[in-house]
Amino acid sequence: MSFQRTQEKLKILADAAKYDVSCSSSGSRRANTNKGLGDATGMGICHSYTEDGRCVSLLKILLTNHCIFDCAYCVTRKSNDVKRAAFKVQEVVDLTINFYRRNYIEGLFLSSGIFKSADYTMERLVAVAKKLRQEENFNGYIHLKSIPGASDELMREAGLYADRLSVNIEIPTEAGLKKLAPDKKREDFIKPMVKVKNEIIQYNAEKKIIKSTPKFAPAGQSTQMIIGASGENDFQIMQTSNHFYKNYNLKRVYYSGYVPISYDSRLPQIGSEVPMLRENRLYQTDWLMRFYGFDVSEILNEKHQNLDLDVDPKLSWALRNLHEFPVDVNTADQRMLARIPGLGMKSVFKIINARRFRRLNWGHLKKIGVALNRAQYFMVCESNQFEKRDLTPEKIKGFILQNSTSKYQKTLSNQLNLFG
């Protein structure tokens, strides 16, 4: 491996891959049983964090940034004047193994620009994974990108070596996709996704009968949407997200605030702010859907098409549904406890366990770690002190905002000034 050439390629191809936000390395089941290298069981590990606060868990690179497509939102689009480079299969293998041996990473996340054709590109990605597994005895985590339009045979092979597969739908609506990526069709994204989904279902069924069935993408598949590039509202975004969770059994949908990289008039201009707060609110909604028992239509619907920026989506839901409160923490079921603003699932389980021993009061709840600033208006406990005034939603919101500081204060006050 020539150090200087690899060094230059790594700089270019890591830089081009960084807009893919997925970095998860958890949820696989690949134990080190052969005295080989690596072990991908149980929880993921973030080995480092970049200065933007994102986790570095995988070596996230493109195989090449040569691309035949010209998608407006993408930094490696054909018409963009950037330096191009391409790794050889062996170079990626060497980098992965040597980084892994030094405990820098959990594994490899390999994506690629599309050169020649979808299948030609996918074949190269599969070749890297195959070599790592078969020649290097590598049991670490491998995340491969499914190239839109790749054939079923290649997707099947990819699933045999990779832990996770993902294909980014990028733009939440079909109309937006047509506008920004005229070369691409929604069907091309869906095709590999369907194949992987069916293979996983088949694997799970076969494993019950034959224990030695070779693993197929044990960490499932995921996708990503760009936020704020094509004018969708939060309702449309979360509906698409919900559709993909329900119909394609996705493990995760990622939301990526658009980072302006182009002077294209169809897109937000360079220098405009990355919508990080909005991205955060979308993730909170995603969590409410997946872990807190909310249906997406409770949070976003025809009447309420955008998430509030100044309060989190659960608090916003609670303020619109005051008739459901107050909740008695000593008797309520898990579903209702999870709906109290300021209570995370960890606190919910702690409360359910702790109240078996004695009735809980404000002191107990505070020590357990409940965010009482928000929660106090929505619950009662073993105490005669609770919110007795008949407060309006606006009043409650006002009290809560008065007593809290948001890390997004700057963004928020700019927006509030418009109405002030």
Partner 1 sequence: MTAKNLIYDGTFDGFLSAVFYVFEQKLKTVTIQSEFTVQQGLFSENETIHTDEAKANRVWKGIKSKLSSQGSYQLYYAFLSEQSGVEDLLLDYIQYAFSQHKKVDKDYSHPSILKIAQIAKSVGREKHRMEAFVRFRLTKDAIYFSNIEPDFNVLPLIEKHFKRRYADQKWVIYDIKRNYGMFYDLQNVEVMQMDFPENFDFTKTNDAFFATQEFEFQKLWQDYFKATNIESRKNMKLHIRHIPKRYWKYLSEKQPN
Helix (H, G, I), strand (E, B) or coil at 58: strand
Question: DSSP letter string over 284-346?
Answer: HHHHHHHHS---HHHHS-SS--S--SSS-HHHHHHHHTGGG--EETTT--HHHHTTSTT--HH
Interface of this chain with partner 1, residues 121 to 150, rule: CB under 8 A: 137
* CA pseudo-torsion sign 344, 225, 158, 205: positive
Size of the site for partner 1 (CB under 8 A): 55
Alpha-carbon span 59 to 61, nearest angstrom: 6
C-alpha distances (whole Å) from 317 to each of 268, 288, 335, 344 are 30, 11, 15, 15
345 is a site residue for partner 1 (CB under 8 A): no
CB of 268 to partner 1, least distance (A): 12
Q: Give the burial class of 408: count Cβ atoms within 10 A of its Cβ; 0-12 exposed, 13-18 middle, 19 or more buried.
A: middle
From 37, 371, 401, 412, residue interacting with partner 1 (rule: CB under 8 A): 37
Q: Which stretch binds partner 1 (CB under 8 A): 94-102, 160-168, 227-235, 398-406?
A: 94-102
From 5, 11, 116, 395, residue interacting with partner 1 (rule: CB under 8 A): 11
**Nearer of residues 89 and 276 to partner 1, judged by Cβ:** 276
From 27, 28, 59, 74, residue interacting with partner 1 (rule: CB under 8 A): 59
38 is a site residue for partner 1 (CB under 8 A): yes
14 is a site residue for partner 1 (CB under 8 A): yes
The angle that helices 152-161 and 118-134 make with each other, rounded to 10 degrees, is 20
Alpha-carbon span 353 to 364, nearest angstrom: 13
Alpha-carbon span 217 to 29, nearest angstrom: 10
**Nearer of residues 30 and 195 to partner 1, judged by Cβ:** 30
CB of 340 to partner 1, least distance (A): 17
Interface of this chain with partner 1, residues 238 to 257, rule: CB under 8 A: 257
259 is a site residue for partner 1 (CB under 8 A): yes
319 and 396 Cβ atoms separated by less than 8 Å: yes
Which residues of this protein are in contact with partner 1, per CB under 8 A?
A: 3, 6-7, 10-11, 14-15, 17-19, 31-32, 35-39, 45-56, 59-60, 95, 98-99, 101-104, 137, 257, 259-260, 274, 276, 350, 353-354, 356-358, 360, 364, 367-368, 407
